[in-house]
Amino acid sequence: MRLILLGPPGAGKGTQAKRLMAAHGIPQLSTGDMLRAAVKAETEIGLKAKDIMARGDLVPDAVVVGIIEERIEEPDCANGFILDGFPRTVAQAEALEKVLHHHKMDLDAVLQLEVDENALAARVEQRVAESGDAVREDDTVEALKKRLTVYREQTAPLVDHYREVGNLVTIDGMQSIDEVTQSIQDALSSGQGSRIRAAG
């Protein structure tokens, strides 16, 4: 099963991705996690991404597309994967479609976690409070504002994009964590989110 989790920062994508990973035995591919690992390891990509991430901007499309393309070729992705935080621009979505087509892979569903934006600042503040020393460099009020603006301007258009493609499933992300998980399970087991067929 190949899934995309779509939603603004703080919508619960990471939490639900981990639950989907456990339930379906497929890996969570979080470009944010991969980029943070690259920053920590001070790789070439990490050095380029560090400041961009800290201020809440998007790293260039080509960088994340390259990371994802390499990652989905790994053996643990053979039975599927959950994309968490990718794609984030229409250009990334189009590049992903090409990559999937090239690998003769289908996408099963795009799960949009719809949340009230006013609740997001509170969720991120809670995450800051709970994470203690492990606080993310971009979990600041200023970076969050920027990340929300970037989401609205560059990522939200993906909702219409995937609605047109035909595999958008909208989930009420304001429910409790367990209820969101249940809604996702129900949607997937009823076959919502028609598949993008890899032609050829």
Q: Could you tell me the sign of the dihedral formed by the alpha carbons of 53, 57, 63, 67, in that order? A: positive
Beta strand extents in 65-167 (DSSP E only): 81-84, 109-114
DSSP 37-49: HHHHTT-HHHHHH
The smaller minimum CB distance to ligand AMP, of residues 108 and 138, is found at 138
* 96 lies in the binding site for ligand AMP (CB under 6 A): no
Q: Taking CB under 6 A as the criterion, which residues in 119-138 touch ligand AMP?
A: 138
* 147 lies in the binding site for ligand AMP (CB under 6 A): yes
Q: Judged by CB under 6 A, how many residues of this single chain contact ligand AMP?
A: 18
The smaller minimum CB distance to ligand AMP, of residues 130 and 190, is found at 130
Q: Can you tell me which of 7, 8, 9, 12 binds ligand AMP, judged by CB under 6 A? A: 9
* 95 lies in the binding site for ligand AMP (CB under 6 A): no
> Beta 2-6 vs 28-30: how paired, if at all?
unpaired
Give the interface segment with ligand AMP, choosing from 38-46, 73-81, 82-90, 102-110 (CB under 6 A): 82-90
* 83 lies in the binding site for ligand AMP (CB under 6 A): no
Side chain identity, residue 116: D
Residue of 19, 20, 22 whose CA lies nearest to 2: 20
Give 125's contacts (C-beta < 8 A, 6+ positions apart): 141
Q: How far is the CB of 69 from ligand AMP (least distance, A)?
A: 12
